[in-house]
Structure 1
Amino acid sequence: MITYALLCDNQHRFDAWFRSAEAFDEQLARGIVSCPVCASIRVEKALMAPAVARSGSDKVTVSSGHPQQAEIRELLRAMRRKVVSEADYVGDRFAEEARKIHFREADARGIYGEATRDEVAGLIDDGVDFLPLPNLPDEHN
């Protein structure tokens, strides 16, 4: 799995996960990489913070010192509260339910839950549109 910082032609910044660099290139060429703010498909890679190793080969991308960091953090918390209050919690059935909605086997509705790395990679490969749900501690973040 690879995470890219992306920038649309309207200057909206966002992150997205891809199975590989090749998967990003292929999805970009197919026009299925889009900005979650304005839906523009004119997207390019943005400058990224370096990945910091946690343990072994696991990595996490971190950021610090942005002048609007507190504001962005609160917006992420608000987004999480909105999703949790308006969407259905499906637990570890997230990948299964997201596919059913994507392939119109179930009614469209907002859902949230958990997925393994392999399930996330499979959803990306299938072109299922989803976003990671931020989970920020209330203090010291």
Structure 2
Amino acid sequence: MKVLDLQCPDGHRFEGWFASVDDFESQLSRKLVECPMCGATHVTRLPSAPRLNLSGASETPKASSHEQAAQWQAHAMRVIREVLDKTENVGDRFAEEARRIHYNEAPSRNIRGIASAEDAQALVEEGIDVMPLPVPAALKGPLQ
């Protein structure tokens, strides 16, 4: 198993696990490798150090800024997936459905959808809590 450090044109860094380097190259040529944050299929391989198991090492090295960014991105993706999993997508009816729920005209539940900035502001002014959630392109399809 080969673990490769990858990056999309937007600078999102992530890991990919492949059976071999040839497997990575084959999937890349068929545009099967995509950024989990934005869905870009133009992905480049970054240089990576070999992973060494140094038993007896007394001090755990601090995470590099690249590792910290990758950890943050992975955490953000988990949070977004959880929100998507626990909400009902009402699409472009978001503002209407949020009002119906707020005024007890529809069952109370967690919803998500699309609203213009003006609609979102109007909901806030009516006392209806809303929160923008930028969803990466890779998660806009069915969850796997």
Structure ID, larger Rg: 2
Give the TM-score normalised by structure 1: 0.46
Give the TM-score normalised by structure 2: 0.45
